[in-house]
Amino acid sequence: MLSNKEKMLIAEIWESLTPVAEEIGADALLRMFACFPGSKTYFSHLDISRGSPHLLSHGKKIVLALAEGSKDISQLTVTLAPLQIMHAYQLRIDPINFKLLSHCLLVALSCHMRDDFTAVAHAAMDKYLSAFAAVLAEKYR
């Protein structure tokens, strides 16, 4: 459960990261590919090497979706409806991978924000990413 304070903190963090969405998103993806090679199987049709335009644009998309969702967390199911359908019927990514990417996003945030990524921010963000992943997987079955 997210408190109002936590919701504000999450929205603040994503708002501040929107200008570097590409950087954070690509970093998180690269970490996931390095640490969990099975996740690469979903990207066989793209160039996911460091610095590639595919990687940067994909990373940006993910972070911008997270930022958008954070603006009104109580409305996640509405905001993410199109993405829910895409992931359920088209992409069909095994939801275990959402956990893996969430972990790598937390690491990317920690590398970027250093001491500003406090335990409280970490807890709030972990809860948000779990909620986001759960909503994304809602239409799977």
Partner 1 sequence: MVEWTDFERDTIKDIFSRIKYDVVGPAAFARCLVVYPWTQRYFGGFGNLDNAAAIKGNPMVSKHGTTIIQGLDRAVKNMDDIENTYTELSVLHSEKLHVDPDNFKLLADCLTIVVAAQLGKEFTGEVQAAFQKFLAVVVSSLGRQYH
For partner 1, the binding residues (CB under 8 A) are: 27, 30-31, 33-35, 103-104, 106-107, 110-111, 113-115, 117-120, 122-123, 126
By C-beta, is 74 or 115 nearer to partner 1? Answer: 115
Name the minimum Å distance from CB 104 to partner 1: 8
By C-beta, is 6 or 80 nearer to partner 1? Answer: 6
How is the chain split among helix, strand and coil, in percent rounded to 5? Answer: 80, 0, 20
Name the minimum Å distance from CB 13 to partner 1: 14
By C-beta, is 34 or 91 nearer to partner 1? Answer: 34
By C-beta, is 68 or 126 nearer to partner 1? Answer: 126
Please provide the DSSP assignment of 100-140 as one string: HHHHHHHHHHHHHHGGGS-HHHHHHHHHHHHHHHHHHTTT-
Q: Is 117 left (phi over 0), alpha (psi -120 to 50) or beta?
A: beta
Let me know: does 79 contact 138? Beta carbons within 8 Å. Answer: no
Name the minimum Å distance from CB 132 to partner 1: 17
